Structure 1
Amino acid sequence: MVLEQVAFDIETTGFGVDDEVTVVGFAVSMGVQVFVQTGNRPARELQATVQEQVPVHVDVSTHECEESVLAAVTEFVAERLSGSDVLLVAYNGERWNGGFDVPFLRTRYAQLDMQWPFVDVPYADVMPLVTDRFNTTVNGDDQHDLGSVYDLLCDGEYGDLDPFDGSDAAVPAFENGWFAELVQHNVADVLRTRALGRVAERYCSKSEFKVKSLTPTREV
């Protein structure tokens, strides 16, 4: 049985241990679910604004603070992912040097003393699968970043969707309250991650996905 891939990606205020999660997005079968922290600032008509720029259905959930975002993510995972026939995937999501989604979330949930949400959810990192099992060398240089690898291996449908030149722009976007651009960037990332995961499904064996469990040893 092939599990349905659900790609996810986060945005943050920076890379430090005290930085916060600002956006968490999931690419599901019906579209993209995005949870956004607004920092107690207005984000009027955010979903409608993003939907005008995105070719798939987007459901945007806004929250005043990080703790509310993480609580909403926990509820979503429990209702939609835990115990289901899905495979959670990220691009460079659990290798701290470069990618940080899973370790960053672990730290934030721990610091806020919130229960870890990814229980009974299998997980695989798409980056080592793609870069180790496909030739991504261009003019002698190995391509590893999400946008470059996506352009090499996929049809390019989402190549022009990202309003940012790089993920670093997500930090000032949150600081300046550019929530529509921030969400659109996150949507672009989860859609490109899902596309790469689907390419890997077509050309790689199940064993090469290195699926692991994110269920903790002990639950409170």
Structure 2
Amino acid sequence: MGNLAPVAFDIETSGLDDQAVVTVAGISHQLTNWIVLNTGDRHASTDSLTEALNQCTDNQTELTVVANEEMLLRTLDDFADNRIDGDIHYLTAYNGETWNGGFDLPFLRSACIRNDVPWPFGDIAYADTMEATSRFATNDVGDLVGVYNTLIGDDNCDPFTDSEEAVTAFENGDWLPLLKHNLADIERTRELAELAGRFVPSSDFAMKNLAPPEVR
């Protein structure tokens, strides 16, 4: 792991079926959060949503609102190019991609293929927070919220008790609860990664480079 700082990543989707799309993508640096919302061609007030999100966290939170999944992916690609430095950062997610599966990165790859959009995370190291936190005694709690509550337990702004509620919120255009859920998850993931960086041996971070063999 060296001296790389974690950048936490999390997505929300409209479901798990073949027609599901990425609805939200969030990234959390140590001092700044950035979230992009796909409204599905519906209205959302960037200013009022940003103001509400910044009342939920001590970190400065930036919000970008776009109309569809392709625009979300292209915006994410631009952000990764300009704001994530592979020399000082590594990307992490909770069950984002593990040796036998994961959710966020496989779903994102499929979305990039659907929309003919470049893979946004070229030449960036990745380590999964779920695997790193398995080195702590968490009484076999496996989900992000459970592990976070066991190890850290700080208050957060998450209005949901189940990630499936994020699907319903997108369908209903309930943008603020959906965004608060993503914000809570990226901050929980980053805080857990930072905790692991203080206590878990570097050799136990299963670090890999996300750049495909041929970047086109």
Question: Which TM-score applies when normalising by structure 1?
Answer: 0.92
**Counterparts of residues 177-192 of structure 1 (less than 5 Å):** 177-192=173-188
Aligned-pair CA distance for 1:104: 0.2
* Cα deviation digits, residues 55-111 of structure 1 (max 9, x gap): 321100000111001000000001111433101010010149884000000001011
Q: Which letter maps to 1:188?
A: A
What is the SS of the residue equivalent to 2:80? helix
Aligned-pair CA distance for 1:116: 0.7
What is the SS of the residue equivalent to 1:148? helix
Aligned-pair CA distance for 1:15: 1.3
8 Å CA contact 2:86, 2:125 repeated in 1: no
Match status 1:34 vs 2:35: yes
Q: 1:25 aligns to what?
A: 26
Match status 1:79 vs 2:82: yes
* Cα deviation digits, residues 15-47 of structure 1 (max 9, x gap): 123310000000013320001101111112221
Q: 1:92 aligns to what?
A: 95
Aligned-pair CA distance for 1:160: 3.5
Q: 2:59 aligns to what?
A: 56
**Counterparts of residues 68-147 of structure 1 (less than 5 Å):** 68-95=71-98, 99-131=102-134, 133-137=135-139, 142-147=140-145
Match status 1:219 vs 2:215: yes
* Cα deviation digits, residues 85-142 of structure 1 (max 9, x gap): 10101001014988400000000101111111111110000102212x11111xxxx2
Q: 1:150 aligns to what?
A: 148
What is the SS of the residue equivalent to 2:127? strand
Further displaced range: 39-48 or 69-78: 39-48
Q: Tell me the distance in 2 between the aligned counterparts of 1:51 and 1:4.
A: 23
**CA-atom RMSD in angstroms:** 1.6
**Counterparts of residues 157-172 of structure 1 (less than 5 Å):** 157=154, 159-172=155-168
Q: Which letter maps to 1:34?
A: I
Q: Which letter maps to 1:26?
A: I
Same amino acid, percent of matched pairs: 40
Match of residue 194, structure 2, among 173, 198, 204: 198
8 Å CA contact 2:90, 2:125 repeated in 1: yes
Change (3 A) 1:168 1:98: farther
Q: Which letter maps to 1:8?
A: F
Q: Tell me the distance in 2 between the aligned counterparts of 1:53 and 1:204.
A: 29
State how many pairs are aligned. Answer: 213
Q: 2:169 aligns to what?
A: 173
